[in-house]
Amino acid sequence: MPAATSVSLAVADAVWAEIRSAGRASDEHLSILETLFGKNMLRACKIVDERGVRRVTGAPSGRSVFLVMGESKRKEEYLCFPEHLCTCYSFFYDVVGRGEQLSVSPLTAATAS
């Protein structure tokens, strides 16, 4: 992973932690996240606003995964592991394969919810 990507992810993690701690996102938080994630942040906000994120927690482990509705007309549902993996095509193509993005909108929506 390139150093710039590692730094960007560390900044994003710090912003998400501040948001969780404060219980809300400030304009500054949203501006930083939009700079880091670009169009995917706006798409993620739309998914969250439309209640397209469901958290599923297993018992007795307490581990959680997220089921996130896609943006396509087919309304596919993607499985997201917080901050690590999304089953959407774009994750493997743009994030893993080409390394052009830090995240995809379903994964960002799961983190934001």
For 62-106, write each residue's pLDDT tens digit: 999 999 998 776 778 999 987 679 998 888 888 888 877 888 888
pLDDT of residue 2: 64
CA contacts within 13 A on the Cβ side of 50:
14
Tell me, what amino acid is at 112?
A: A
Instruction: Write out pLDDT tens, residues 9-35.
Output: 889 889 999 999 999 999 999 999 999
Strand order in the sheet with 85-86: 53-57, 64-69, 77-81, 85-86
pLDDT of residue 34: 92
CA distance 16 to 24: 10
